[in-house]
C-alpha cells in the first residue's frame, strides 16, 4: 500500500469553469524520428510519443495524468513548456498561443509556467549554492531589487519547509526530499500561475512522498496555483488531483473528475489500472477481481488504423481495430466504442 494513501489528506473537490482555461492543449503531438543504423543510417519512421492529446486546466486546478511508463506523460509535460518541440498541435497559456514561439519570444511566458522535475539529484546545478539556484530566476526576470532577492529566497526556503540559514549550502548537502523542496522553491521564485509537476515524488523514499504531496497541496491553497501533475502512482494522483486523465501509448483514453474516474472507470484500460492498485482494506483486497491484460505495451512506432489498446483489450471487437475512437463525452470523456460494456 502506498504511504500516500494513509498519510495525505484528501484533496478537496474543485468547482471551476473551464470557459476560460489557464492552460489549453489541442491535439498535441510529439513524434521522434528513428533510423536503421549501419552505413546508410536511413530514417525508418517515427516514434509517436504523444499523438493528439487535448485537455484544459483551470485556475487553481490540478489535472493528474497517469499511465504506464513510456505512455508519453513526461513528453507531454516537456512539450507544454517547450523543452521538446511539438510536432503538431497547439498550446495556449492564458488564451495566448505559445507552442510556435521562439525561445526568446517564449521567455515572458515562462514566468507564469514553471516545472518541477522528476529527479531532484539531476535538476539542481551542483556548482551553485541554494541561494543562487533560487535567485537565478529572479535575476532573469528582473524581479525585486537586488538587495531584496536574498530575503525573498529566505522566505521561499521557509515556505517550503527548509531552514533559511542553509542558503549558502550546496545541493549535495541535502537529502532527496530536501532537494525537491529546493526545486519547488525555485519554481515559485517567479510567482507562476501554473506548475508542471513531472513525477515529482517518484524518485523519493516512500516515507518522504507524502510530505512533498502535502506541501504542494498547501502551496496550491495559499497561492492559488494550478498543477499538471504527472505520475504513475494512482494513490498519489487520487489525493492531489481534481481531474484525472489516463494515457495509453501517446493518447488520452479517459478524462474525468477524480471521484467519477475512481468510482466508475469506463475505459477497459483504466479499469485494469485501478484493479492493479492496492486497496488499504484487506477484506476488499482479497475479494476484488484483478483484470490481467495480455501481452506487452506495443511499440509507439506502430501505426494503428483503430484503437491501439485493442490487442490487449478483453472486450475488443473487430471494429475496434478498424476505426480510431476519439475522446468524447461531457465531464467524463472516454475514447472507447464499448466503454459501458
Per-residue pLDDT tens digits for 56-104 = 999 999 999 999 888 999 999 999 999 999 999 999 999 999 999 999 9
Note the pTM of the prediction, 2 decimals: 0.89
In a domain, 99, yes or no: yes
In a domain, 304, yes or no: no
Residues 34 and 181 in one domain: no
Residues 216 and 157 in one domain: no
- Cβ atoms of 202 and 233 within 8 Å: the answer is yes
In a domain, 133, yes or no: yes
Which pLDDT band, with edges at 50, 70 and 90, does 12 fall under?
very low
Radius of gyration for the alpha carbons in the chain, expressed in angstroms and rounded? 21
Residues 44 and 97 in one domain: yes
Residues 214 and 165 in one domain: no
In a domain, 340, yes or no: no
Q: What would the mean pLDDT of 120-128 be, rounded to a whole number?
A: 92
Q: For residue 288, what are the domain limits? A: 4-112+195-298
- Cβ atoms of 250 and 327 within 8 Å: the answer is no
Return the ∠ at Cα 197 (arms to 249 and 96), rounded to 5°.
Answer: 85
Residues 215 and 137 in one domain: no
Give the CATH number, domain containing residue 203.
3.40.50.300
> How many domains does the chain fold into?
2
* Cβ-based neighbour number of residue 285 at 10 Å: 11
Residues 77 and 147 in one domain: no
In a domain, 40, yes or no: yes
Residues 233 and 168 in one domain: no
User: Please, what sign has the CA dihedral across residues 63, 223, 162, 109?
Assistant: positive
pLDDT of residue 199: 93
Pairwise CA distance, residues 112 & 35, whole Å = 37
Residue ending a domain, choose from 170, 191, 212: 191
Residue ending a domain, choose from 129, 156, 191: 191
Residues 18 and 58 in one domain: yes
Residues 88 and 223 in one domain: yes
Residue whose entry in the numeric block shows the C-alpha cell 530575503: 151
Assess whether pLDDT exceeds 50 at residue 227. Answer: yes
Residue ending a domain, choose from 173, 191, 209: 191
- Cβ atoms of 185 and 137 within 8 Å: the answer is no
C-alpha distances in Å from residue 79, one per residue of 40, 46, 263, 319: 30, 17, 31, 33
pLDDT of residue 9: 45
Residues 96 and 208 in one domain: yes
In a domain, 335, yes or no: no
Assess whether pLDDT exceeds 80 at residue 184. Answer: yes
Assess whether pLDDT exceeds 60 at residue 4. Answer: no
C-alpha distances in Å from residue 57, one per residue of 18, 60, 93, 185, 329: 7, 8, 10, 22, 17
Residues 159 and 26 in one domain: no
Query: Residue-wise over 131-166: b if at least 16 C-beta within 10 A, else e?
Result: bbbbbbbbeeeebbeeeebbebbbebbebbbbebeb
C-alpha distances in Å from residue 153, one per residue of 80, 113, 132, 211, 229: 27, 19, 9, 21, 25
In a domain, 338, yes or no: no
Instruction: Count the residues in the chain.
Output: 341
Residues 50 and 145 in one domain: no
In a domain, 319, yes or no: no
Report the SS3 class of residue 306.
Answer: coil
- In the numeric block, which cell numbers belong to residue 67? 499511465
Amino acid at each position: 500500500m502506498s504511504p500516500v494513501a494513509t498519510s495525505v489528506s484528501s484533496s478537496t473537490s474543485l468547482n471551476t469553469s473551464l470557459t476560460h482555461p489557464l492552460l489549453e492543449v489541442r491535439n498535441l503531438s510529439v513524434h521522434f524520428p528513428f533510423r536503421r543504423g549501419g552505413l546508410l543510417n536511413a530514417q525508418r519512421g517515427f516514434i509517436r510519443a504523444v499523438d493528439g492529446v487535448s485537455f484544459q486546466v483551470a485556475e487553481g486546478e490540478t489535472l493528474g495524468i497517469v499511465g504506464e511508463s513510456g505512455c508519453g506523460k513526461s513528453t507531454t509535460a516537456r512539450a507544454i513548456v517547450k523543452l521538446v518541440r511539438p510536432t503538431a498541435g497547439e498550446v495556449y497559456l492564458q488564451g495566448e498561443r505559445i507552442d510556435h514561439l521562439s525561445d526568446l519570444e517564449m521567455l515572458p511566458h515562462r514566468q507564469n509556467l514553471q516545472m518541477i522535475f522528476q529527479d531532484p539529484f539531476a535538476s539542481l546545478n551542483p556548482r551553485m549554492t541554494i541561494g543562487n539556484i533560487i535567485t537565478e530566476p529572479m535575476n532573469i526576470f528582473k524581479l525585486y531589487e537586488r538587495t531584496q532577492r536574498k530575503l525573498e529566497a529566505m522566505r521561499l526556503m521557509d515556505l517550503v519547509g527548509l531552514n533559511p540559514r542553509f542558503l549558502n549550502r550546496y545541493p549535495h548537502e541535502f537529502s532527496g526530499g530536501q532537494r525537491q523542496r529546493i526545486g519547488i522553491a525555485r519554481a515559485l521564485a517567479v510567482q507562476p500561475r501554473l506548475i508542471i509537476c513531472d513525477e515529482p515524488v517518484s524518485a523519493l523514499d516512500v516515507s518522504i512522498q507524502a510530505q512533498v504531496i502535502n506541501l504542494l497541496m498547501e502551496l496550491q491553497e495559499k497561492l492559488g496555483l494550478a498543477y499538471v501533475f504527472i505520475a504513475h502512482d494512482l494513490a498519489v494522483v487520487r489525493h492531489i488531483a481534481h481531474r484525472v486523465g489516463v494515457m495509453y501509448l501517446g493518447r488520452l483514453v479517459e478524462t474525468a473528475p477524480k471521484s467519477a474516474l475512481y468510482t466508475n472507470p469506463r475505459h477497459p484500460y483504466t479499469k485494469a489500472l485501478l484493479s492493479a492498485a492496492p486497496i488499504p482494506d484487506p477484506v476488499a483486497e482479497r475479494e476484488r477481481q484483478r483484470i490481467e491484460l495480455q501481452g506487452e505495451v506495443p511499440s509507439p512506432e506502430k501505426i494503428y488504423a483503430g484503437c491501439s489498446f485493442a490487442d490487449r483489450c478483453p472486450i475488443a471487437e473487430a471494429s475496434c481495430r478498424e476505426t480510431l475512437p476519439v475522446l468524447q463525452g461531457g465531464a467524463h470523456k472516454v475514447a472507447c466504442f464499448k466503454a459501458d460494456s
